[in-house]
């Protein structure tokens, strides 16, 4: 029985003769103080009247907003927070035990009741309980909890509590529910690492019968006596279909394990999205006269799971390719203190996407989400919160305290979630590496990971283990001293960001397939998947051509279009690789990271397919919905880029139809094929003003409005850049209409300084630049061409030029309708980082004005282009 505490926090410990334990949620009436206190806050008489009234779940931290600077109301305090709750309770019934349950407290928690210390817990993500029997009393009770989310600096309270590193913010507080449980002296153990105390597993299954073993951990804090252990299984409508009883004796003070076996005829399997059928197992401890002393129920899914290096996940004997997303548990303005309704919304969005799996990054998530996954058939990758480091900084070997923390939290993860059929694999960590922006750092991770894998197999021999790996040497490369952690678990999930981090070029996403095939050739017996891949996407930042420049993967801008195309190319590479046991997009929702100033946000990792507040589904979300969902999908991408920089643009749509048709202002532009769910109409001309764009595919229709407010007979290009700019009233679009060459940035964000939390480097300055924004990037190459869409006629072309490096650079520019013009840039400017311009005459013919660049001595280069009527 679960009861909600009233606003007055009156707790009722009424005897429940046959209803076993009673649980009361402690939500209202708390007082909170941020920071330590000078007097004894654990004392019942301590005056907390000035403390802040709060409800639990609660966190004091707040950060993450779609602004270019940290939000004004941000709270990034890491340290101690105090909670106190007064309640009135009648005396506990004779023979009962009282426990306090904390579903999570970050990072360290100490608990007192009526001034008596009850317990200490380390680890931010798992449930724990403390025995309050000897401290609870009639009349007023005072519960005091000190939580501490201090940074894991040397000598700090959290120095050895994993994770000691991670690209996500560690919120502080009692951010999941707190409750009080009253049980009989003899009961299913409530102190079993926060677990349910009962654990069911399938020992054999076929079409006729399933054999199930249920293990119960029993605790007797009372007198020795004879008891009966009763276990039963009910089907999805609650009908009991199997039952077994076992007599036993429990000595005073004993804690024992007992296992019973039963069979289920004509079993219906839990089979993921196809059929997430759930039984329910119940264990009862029965005393004299048939009195039920305790009763615990848990989900039971009948299924088998394995992972094969060539066929991937084998669920119930059949291959099941997992296509999923990573999920962090935080939400804008709430942090980690989210509600059940929030989690239900998350699951609904993931289901709508068409995913069949979720990686719970990078820690133990709330039980509510596991329950949702069970009911909805979502296959889970459940993960220990061991991230990046297997030791404290600058130490190779794992300190014993850190190893103990990891082992304790892994035990909690497994015991608390053992009965969820949705959990397919236990992950022993994420990106445990000695490779950093500064190069190799001391690390000896394999002993820790091997020990954790052994622990996971001991706790649960029936599930595979995995490890997310990011930074090992690439296939075919020689070892260079990095830790090789793949192979310490049964399987591996590689975190690979081709098209984003690796080179900063979108086209590199097309290398992903070759890399995964290479690893598969080198490690043919190791089942492998892709634990993370993706790109950042800001819904207020846009580009005209995703290949126009080098991506700022850890700064700004991060155009929404880039994210979408990286995912298009990545999924096209991953989809045909049947040996992969699964692939997981990083990530489903934008999430907090106080390390990041990215895109249009601060303190947010922008790689979500949906915004932090769950309010906007980005273009990439709709791509996956078209690629994965069984629902019919047609979606016009780029709809938030309303005011276009150029009168000619490409239009993209996502559809799971073979082709789609497009019209602009009622003008039929015909059909486009939609291979891999992507339909493209290149070089669509827009009229001045608003343009009504309509796509159709079968009975599906989608619409958007695009606007062009610039001149029809002029064009201004900011070359080498993914970002447009307005200079002295003239709008320059981001780089487009080119063929060949590469885009570069004068002052790219420094990964080294980012990693150390410092600001950008002192910027380079181009001398003599009247408008520095036009010399902030460039396109260069031995040969490249611009084909600018302009009405036929004569034009004046101005090229903005500079050399970013010292040396000789000679190239030619050939305008359409004109002769080659030779440019000796060093002679023209007198040295590097000096601005100059070159004026040309050109003629547009057939709606195109071309500029051909060819390097003679070094590469040709241009930093901006102006074309106006002659």
Joined tokens for residue 72 = 């004004």
Judge whether 222 and 236 are in contact, CB under 8 Å. Answer: no
In 439-510, which ranges are continuous DSSP H helix? 446-459
Please name the residue that has the structure tokens 């005011």: 643
Strand stretches in 105-190, DSSP E: 108-113, 116-122, 128-131, 139-148, 178-184, 186-188
| Whole-angstrom distance, CA of residue 171 vs CA of residue 66 | 19
In 649-778, which ranges are continuous DSSP H helix? 751-755
Q: Which residues contact 856 (CB under 8 A, 6 or more apart)?
A: 810, 811, 812, 822
Count of CB atoms within 10 A of residue 425's CB? 30
Judge whether 772 and 721 are in contact, CB under 8 Å. Answer: no
In 736-851, which ranges are continuous DSSP H helix? 751-755, 825-829
| Whole-angstrom distance, CA of residue 552 vs CA of residue 16 | 62
| Whole-angstrom distance, CA of residue 441 vs CA of residue 446 | 15
Strand stretches in 251-304, DSSP E: 255-265, 279-286, 292-300
Work out whether the CA dihedral 217, 219, 223, 227 comes out positive or negative: negative
To 5 degrees, how large is the angle CA 222–CA 223–CA 228? 90
Judge whether 863 and 802 are in contact, CB under 8 Å. Answer: yes
How far lies 569's CA from each of 510, 533, 544, 639, 677, in Å? 6, 11, 18, 20, 11
Whether 245 sits among the annotated catalytic residues: the reply is: no
Q: Which residues contact 59 (CB under 8 A, 6 or more apart)?
A: 106, 171, 172, 173, 175, 334, 335, 336, 337
Three-state SS for 407? Answer: helix
| Whole-angstrom distance, CA of residue 99 vs CA of residue 314 | 41
Three-state SS for 325? Answer: strand
| Whole-angstrom distance, CA of residue 731 vs CA of residue 726 | 4
Three-state SS for 376? Answer: helix
Judge whether 810 and 858 are in contact, CB under 8 Å. Answer: yes
| Whole-angstrom distance, CA of residue 604 vs CA of residue 591 | 5
How far lies 726's CA from each of 153, 312, 345, 641, 717, in Å? 45, 51, 40, 16, 11
| Whole-angstrom distance, CA of residue 81 vs CA of residue 102 | 15
| Burial of residue 721, with CB atoms counted within 10 A of its CB: 0-12 exposed, 13-18 middle, 19 or more buried | buried
Judge whether 145 and 344 are in contact, CB under 8 Å. Answer: no
How far lies 677's CA from each of 44, 191, 239, 626, 663, in Å? 64, 51, 45, 6, 19
| Whole-angstrom distance, CA of residue 210 vs CA of residue 663 | 58
Count of CB atoms within 10 A of residue 717's CB? 30
| Whole-angstrom distance, CA of residue 691 vs CA of residue 666 | 9
Judge whether 530 and 583 are in contact, CB under 8 Å. Answer: yes
Kind and range of the H or E run holding 623: helix 619-628
| Whole-angstrom distance, CA of residue 772 vs CA of residue 15 | 78
Q: Which of 96, 407, 431, 561 is catalytic?
A: 431
Three-state SS for 369? Answer: helix
Can you name the residues that pair with 121 across neighbouring β-strands?
109
Q: Closest Cα partner for 373 from 440, 422, 303, 425?
A: 422
Catalytically active residues, by annotation: 431
């Amino acid at each position: 029985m679960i009861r909600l505490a009233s606003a007055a926090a009156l707790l009722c410990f009424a005897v429940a003769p046959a209803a076993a334990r009673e649980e009361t949620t402690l939500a209202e009436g708390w007082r909170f103080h941020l920071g330590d206190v000078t007097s004894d806050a654990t004392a019942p008489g301590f005056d907390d009247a000035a403390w802040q009234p709060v409800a639990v779940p609660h966190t004091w931290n707040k950060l993450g907003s779609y602004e270019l600077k940290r939000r004004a109301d941000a709270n990034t305090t890491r340290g101690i927070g105090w909670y106190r709750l007064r309640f009135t309770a009648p005396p506990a019934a004779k023979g009962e035990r009282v426990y306090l349950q904390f579903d999570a407290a970050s990072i360290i928690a100490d608990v007192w009741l009526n001034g008596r210390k009850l317990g200490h817990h380390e680890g931010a993500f798992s449930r724990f309980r403390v025995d309050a029997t000897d401290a609870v009393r009639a009349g007023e009770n005072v519960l005091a909890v000190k939580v501490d989310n201090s940074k894991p600096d040397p000598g700090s309270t959290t120095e050895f509590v994993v994770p000691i590193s991670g690209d996500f913010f560690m919120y502080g507080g009692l951010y999941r529910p707190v409750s009080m449980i009253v049980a009989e002296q003899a009961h299913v153990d409530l102190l079993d690492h926060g677990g349910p105390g009962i654990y069911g597993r399938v020992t054999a299954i076929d079409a006729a019968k399933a054999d199930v073993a249920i293990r119960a951990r029993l605790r007797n804090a009372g007198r020795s006596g004879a008891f009966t252990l009763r276990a039963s299984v009910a089907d999805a409508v609650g009908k009991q279909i199997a039952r077994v009883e076992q007599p036993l004796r429990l000595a005073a003070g004993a804690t024992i394990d007992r296992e019973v076996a039963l069979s289920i005829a004509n079993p219906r399997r839990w089979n993921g999205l196809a059929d997430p059928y759930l039984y329910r197992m119940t264990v009862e401890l029965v005393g004299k006269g048939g009195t039920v002393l305790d009763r615990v129920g848990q989900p039971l899914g009948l299924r088998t799971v394995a992972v094969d290096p060539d066929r991937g996940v084998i669920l119930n004997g059949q291959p099941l390719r997992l296509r999923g997303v990573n999920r962090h548990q935080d939400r804008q303005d709430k942090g980690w203190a989210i509600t059940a309704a929030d989690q239900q919304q998350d699951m609904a969005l993931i289901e709508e996407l068409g995913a069949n799996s979720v990686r719970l990054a990078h820690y133990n998530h709330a039980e509510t989400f596991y329950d949702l996954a069970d009911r909805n058939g979502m296959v889970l990758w459940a993960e220990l919160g061991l991230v990046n480091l297997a030791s404290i900084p600058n130490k190779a070997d794992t300190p014993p305290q850190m190893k103990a923390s990891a082992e304790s939290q892994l035990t909690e993860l497994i015991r608390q979630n053992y009965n969820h059929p949705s959990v397919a694999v236990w992950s022993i960590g994420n990106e445990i590496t000695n490779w950093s922006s500064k190069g190799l750092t001391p690390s000896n991770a394999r002993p820790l990971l091997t020990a954790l894998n052994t622990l996971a197999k001991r706790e649960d021999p029936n599930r595979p283990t995995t490890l997310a790996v990011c930074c090992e040497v690439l296939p075919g490369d020689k070892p260079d001293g990095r830790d090789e952690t793949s192979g310490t678990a049964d399987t591996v999930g590689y975190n690979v960001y081709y098209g984003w981090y690796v080179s900063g070029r979108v086209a590199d996403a097309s290398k992903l397939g070759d890399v995964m095939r290479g690893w598969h050739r080198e490690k043919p017996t190791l089942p492998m998947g892709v634990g993370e891949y993706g790109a950042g996407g800001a819904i207020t930042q846009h580009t005209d051509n995703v290949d126009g420049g080098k991506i700022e993967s850890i700064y700004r801008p991060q155009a929404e279009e880039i994210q979408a195309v990286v995912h298009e190319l990545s999924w096209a590479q991953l989809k045909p690789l049947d040996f992969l046991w699964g692939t997981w997009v990083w990530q489903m929702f934008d999430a907090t990271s106080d390390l990041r100033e990215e895109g249009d946000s601060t303190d947010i990792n922008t790689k979500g397919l949906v915004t932090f507040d769950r309010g906007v589904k980005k273009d990439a979300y709709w791509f996956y919905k078209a690629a994965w969902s069984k629902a019919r999908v047609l979606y016009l991408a780029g709809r938030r880029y309303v005011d276009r920089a150029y009168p000619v643009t490409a239009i993209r749509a996502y559809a799971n139809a073979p082709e789609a048709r497009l019209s602009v202002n009622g003008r039929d532009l015909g059909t486009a094929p939609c291979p891999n769910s992507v339909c493209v109409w290149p070089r669509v001309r827009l009229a001045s003003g608003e343009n009504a764009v309509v796509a159709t595919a079968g009975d599906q229709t989608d619409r958007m409005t695009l606007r062009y407010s610039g001149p029809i007979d002029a064009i201004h290009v900011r070359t080498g850049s993914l970002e447009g700019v307005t200079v002295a009233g003239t709008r320059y679009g981001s780089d487009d209409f080119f063929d060949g060459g590469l885009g570069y940035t004068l002052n790219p964000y420094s990964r080294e300084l980012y990693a150390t939390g410092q600001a950008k480097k002192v910027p380079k300055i181009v001398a003599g630049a009247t408008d520095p924004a036009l010399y902030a990037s460039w396109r260069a190459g031995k040969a490249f061409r611009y084909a600018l869409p302009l009405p036929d006629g004569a034009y004046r072309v101005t090229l903005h030029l500079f050399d970013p490096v010292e040396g000789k650079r000679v190239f030619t520019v050939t305008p359409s309708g004109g002769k080659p013009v030779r440019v000796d840039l060093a002679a023209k400017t007198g040295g590097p980082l000096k601005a100059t311009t070159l004026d040309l005459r050109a003629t547009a013919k057939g709606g195109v004005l071309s500029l051909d660049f060819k390097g003679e001595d070094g590469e040709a280069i241009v930093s901006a282009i102006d074309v106006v009527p002659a």
